[in-house]
Amino acid sequence: MIKISIDLGLCQGYGNCVSADPEIFDLNDSGFAFLHVEEVPDDRLSTLRDAAAVCPVEAIRVEPDADGGQR
Ligand code: SF4
């Protein structure tokens, strides 16, 4: 599984992540990002990396093999 996290100390609410993957990222009523899910299957890695790459403040962390790489 891939673990995702958002550093809300960095997030400026640009919403680029939501555009990149609306099934995972969303904006709350205050305009900051939150996650619909915090762990997703490995086949989402490239989409998640794209979402992390379009965040202007690099607030998105994507950690592959969050389960220790055991399959
Ligand atoms: S792209 Fe980055 S700054 Fe913008 S809402 Fe997403 S996490 Fe926040």
- Residue 44 sits in a domain of what CATH number? 3.30.70.20
The reply to whether 71 falls in a domain is: no
Nearest CA to ligand 1 atom 2: 55
The reply to whether 68 falls in a domain is: no
Reading the block at residue 12, the tokens are 């400026």
- The total of structural domains in the chain comes to 1
The reply to whether 11 falls in a domain is: yes
Q: Band the pLDDT of 65: cuts 50, 70, 90.
A: confident
Enter the pTM of the model: 0.90
Domain limits at 58? Answer: 2-63
In this predicted model, what pLDDT tens digit does every residue of 16-37 receive, in sequence order?
Answer: 999 999 999 999 999 999 999 9
Burial class (CB in 10 A: 0-12, 13-18, 19+), 40: buried
The reply to whether 59 falls in a domain is: yes
For residue 71, the CA-to-ligand 1 centroid distance in Å is: 31
Q: 66 Cβ partners below 8 Å, 6+ apart?
A: 1, 2, 3, 39
Q: What percent of the chain has pLDDT over 70?
A: 92
* Pocket probe mutation, ligand 1, options 24, 48, 55, max atoms within 8 Å of Cβ: 55
The reply to whether 70 falls in a domain is: no
For residue 54, the CA-to-ligand 1 centroid distance in Å is: 8
